[in-house]
Structure 1
Amino acid sequence: MTKPVIGITIGDPSGVGPEISLKTLRNEEVLASCIPVLYGDEAVLRRAAPIVGCSEKIAAVSGPEEAKAGQISVVSPGVLTGDYEFAKVQGHCGRAAFAYIERAIADAAAGKIAAVVTGPINKEALHAGGINYSGHTEIFADLTGTKDYAMLLMGGGVRVIHVSTHVALREACDRAKKERVLTVIRLADAAVKALGVPKPRIAVAGLNPHSGESGLFGREEIEEIIPAIETARAEGMDVTGPVPPDTVFVKTLRGESDIVVAMYHDQGHIPLKITDFMGGVNVTVGLPIIRTSVDHGTAYGKAGKGTADESSMVSAVRAAVQFARNR
C-alpha cells in the first residue's frame, strides 16, 4: 500500500516542538508507515538539530510533493531566521507557529498531504502575535469552515470526546445542551468508525455528581443529556448513559465502551492524562481534513535542552496514518 504523506507542524519555535519533530523523524515505525514532511522554518530546525543530535540532511522543499527518503523535508515559510529565544513567550514565534499551521491546512485541503499532525503552540504567544484563537481546534475549524467539531483524546486505553473545551467551567455547564450533546455523540460515532470499529459503543457522562441523582443535584441530565441520548439511539447508535462521571472511565477501562462523551474539558482530560500523560493524542473530529496532535504544551522548561519526550508526537503520527488509511 502507498505510504500516506503526513504533514507535521513544528509548533512554537521557542518550545520543544522543533526538537520532538526531529526526534519523531528518527522513529523507525514513523518512517516505515508514512512519508513525513515538516512544516516550519528551516532556520528553526537547523538550530534545533544539534540540540537533539540530528545529523540528517535538512532540505527545504517548495511543497510536500518534493519530499523524499534520506532527508528531512521541510516546507519552510521563511517567517523566522533564528531571532528568537528559547522558553519565552514571543509574538513573532506565535505568528510563525500560525503560519506553519495555515500552510499545512491549505496543503491538506488541496489533497497534497493525507493528514496534519500538529506540534505544541502557546496561546499567549499567539495572542501576543495578533492571532486571536484559543487553540489549534478553533484554528482548524475556522480555516476549514467547519461548524460542528469536537476535541477527541486517545491514550492509555481511553477515548474521550468533549462537549466543550476551552471555556470557563460556568460557561461549560451552560453549553451542555441537547443539540450540542447530540452533535458530539454523532461525531464520536463517526470518529470511532473511522478508526475501524464498525459499531461503536458510546458512553455519555453526566454533568452533575451521580448524573444529577434524578434531579436532586441538577436537572441538566433530565432536560438536555437524556433527550440527546434517546435521539441518538433512535438514529441507531449504541449509546449508554448518562453514566456518573466518577465511574464512566473505570467502566471504559474495563472494556464496556469504545469512547466516552465528556461534558467539559477537565472531565475528559484528567482521566486521559492519568492513564497516558506522555503518549496521549489529540484529534479534531468533524473536519474535512485529518488533524491529530500531541497532547501537551510547549514545555518551555525543557526547550533547548534536547530532553523532551517525543512519545506523544509519535503516537499522533500513528493515529494520523490509521485515520488516513481507513479514509
Structure 2
Amino acid sequence: MAQAPLAVSLGDPAGVGPELICEAWVRREEERLPPFFVCGGAGLLRQAAASRQISVPVEPVASAVEARTAFARALPVLGEPDGMYRPGQPDAEGARLAYGSLQSAAALTLGGDAGGIVTGPISKALLAEVGFAFPGQTEFVADACGIEAGDAVMMLAGPSLKTVPLTVHVALAEVPRLLTTEVIVRRGRIVAQALRNDFGMAAPRLAVCALNPHAGESGRMGREEIDIIAPAIVALRTEGIDATGPHPADTLFAPRKRATYDVAIAMYHDQALVPLKALDFDHGVNVTLGLPIVRTSPDHGTAFDIAGKGIADPGAMIAAIRMAGEIAAQRAGA
C-alpha cells in the first residue's frame, strides 16, 4: 500500500516558509522527496512562487488521496483558507492563517490521512496574539497527540550531527533548577527508543554533555555533574542504553569525538543548537521524538528580513520533508 502523503503547514505567510515549500516542490525529483500537500494558501503560494521566479502550478485538491495523485504535476493544496502574500510584513491575519494551517495539518496526520506533518516556521509572538497558547509548535503537536510536553523531545538533526537540548526556551539562569536525574533518564529513554524505531539504529550511542566548564572539574566548578548528570548516565546504562559522559561540551563536537556517538544530549538550548547550526545550518531539521505521529520542521525561523527576495536557502525545508518521509517509511517497515 502506498504511503500517505505528508501534510505541510504554511508557517507565517510573511516569512520564508511559503516560498521554500514551493522551491521544495520544484526540486522534488532531484531531491527524491515523498509526496506532500500544503494545508491552505493556494493563492498565496502562487504569489510566493512568482516572487522567487519559479514555475509552480498550484492545484487545489479535495483529499489527501487526490493530493498524492496530483503531486507529480502540481503542488497540491488541501483546504480553502487563503491570504495575501506580504513578505516581510507579518500581521494578525497571517498569524491566523498559519495557526489554521497548523491545526489542519495536525488533524489530518492524527486521522491517518497524512503520513506525517512538516511544520513551516512561525512567529510565536504573533500567534500568541491570535490565541495560540503554547510555547511553540512542538508543544502544540504534543498536546494534539495527548502527550505531555515533557515527553515530546526536540532533536536537531543534520548531516554532521544530532543533538537534543534537555531544556529549551527558558532563561539560562533557570537551567540548573530544571535539570534533574529523572528528567535526563526519562528523555534519554525516549531518545534511544526513537533512534531505534525511527532511524533504524539497533544500538544508539548517547553522549551526555556536562553543564559546567570542564565537566565541573570534580565539583570545583559546580556539582551538577556529580549529583545529577552522572547518576542519570548510570541509570541509563543499567537499562542497557549506551550512554556516556558527562562530557565537556567544548570538546564533544570536534570531528573525532562526533564519530564516537549518534546523538549528543545537551543541557540547554544553545549548547545543542550552536554546534548544529555552525555545522549544518542550511540542512538542519527539528524532529520531535516521542510522538505517535511523525513531525519535522526546518531548523530555522521565519526570516522576515529576507522573505520574498528569492535568497532564502531551501535546504532545511527539503531536508525536513525528506526526513519526515524516511521516518514514516521506517515506522511502516518499508
**TM-score using structure 2 length:** 0.92
Structure 1 residue aligned with 2:245: 241
Structure 2 residue aligned with 1:120: 121
Aligned equivalents of 1:296, 1:56: Cα separation in 2? 23
Structure 1 residue aligned with 2:76: 73
1:306 deviates by: 2.2
Structure 1 residue aligned with 2:18: 18
In structure 2, the CA distance between the partners of 1:250 and 1:305, relative to structure 1 (3 Å rule), is same
> Which stretch of structure 1 is more off in the superposition, 129-138 or 245-254?
245-254
Name the count of aligned residue pairs: 325
Structure 2 residue aligned with 1:219: 223
Aligned pairs (5 A) from 1:167-206? 167-193=170-196, 194-206=198-210
Structure 2 residue aligned with 1:57: 57
In structure 2, the CA distance between the partners of 1:142 and 1:46, relative to structure 1 (3 Å rule), is same
What do residues 197-237 of structure 1 show as CA deviations (whole Å, max 9, x unaligned)? 11001100011111111211111111211111111111111
One-letter amino acid of the counterpart of residue 243, structure 1: H
Give the fraction of aligned pairs with identical amino acids, expressed as a percent. Answer: 39
One-letter amino acid of the counterpart of residue 181, structure 1: I
One-letter amino acid of the counterpart of residue 145, structure 1: G
Aligned equivalents of 1:198, 1:94: Cα separation in 2? 42
1:38 deviates by: 1.2
Q: Say which SS state the counterpart of residue 146 (structure 2) adopts.
A: coil
Contact kept? 2:213, 2:248, Cα under 8 Å: yes
1:279 to 266, 271, 283: 283
Contact kept? 1:161, 1:184, Cα under 8 Å: no
Structure 1 residue aligned with 2:271: 267
> Which stretch of structure 1 is more off in the superposition, 120-129 or 310-319?
120-129
Structure 1 residue aligned with 2:296: 292
What do residues 241-279 of structure 1 show as CA deviations (whole Å, max 9, x unaligned)? 111111122267541000000011000000001101111
Q: Say which SS state the counterpart of residue 276 (structure 1) adopts.
A: helix
Contact kept? 1:40, 1:75, Cα under 8 Å: yes
Contact kept? 2:8, 2:119, Cα under 8 Å: yes
Contact kept? 1:16, 1:308, Cα under 8 Å: yes
Structure 1 residue aligned with 2:46: 46
Contact kept? 2:46, 2:57, Cα under 8 Å: no
Contact kept? 1:94, 1:131, Cα under 8 Å: no
Q: Say which SS state the counterpart of residue 161 (structure 1) adopts.
A: strand
One-letter amino acid of the counterpart of residue 221, structure 1: E
Q: Say which SS state the counterpart of residue 165 (structure 1) adopts.
A: coil
One-letter amino acid of the counterpart of residue 149, structure 1: A
What do residues 109-155 of structure 1 show as CA deviations (whole Å, max 9, x unaligned)? 11111111111111121122232322111111122121111110011
> Which stretch of structure 1 is more off in the superposition, 294-303 or 185-194?
185-194
Aligned equivalents of 1:28, 1:123: Cα separation in 2? 29
Aligned equivalents of 2:61, 2:238: Cα separation in 1? 50
In the alignment, structure 2 segments of 5+ residues that lack a partner are: none
Structure 2 residue aligned with 1:28: 28
Contact kept? 2:206, 2:264, Cα under 8 Å: yes
1:3 deviates by: 4.6
Aligned equivalents of 1:43, 1:55: Cα separation in 2? 14
One-letter amino acid of the counterpart of residue 10, structure 1: L
In the alignment, structure 1 segments of 5+ residues that lack a partner are: none
What do residues 40-89 of structure 1 show as CA deviations (whole Å, max 9, x unaligned)? 322211221211234332112233122123121112341x432x632133
**TM-score using structure 1 length:** 0.94
Aligned equivalents of 1:30, 1:140: Cα separation in 2? 30
Structure 2 residue aligned with 1:100: 101
Q: Say which SS state the counterpart of residue 322 (structure 1) adopts.
A: helix
Extract structure 1 runs of 4+ deviating beyond 3 A.
Answer: 1-4, 28-33, 251-254
Aligned equivalents of 1:203, 1:25: Cα separation in 2? 36
Aligned equivalents of 1:32, 1:276: Cα separation in 2? 20
Aligned equivalents of 1:209, 1:151: Cα separation in 2? 24
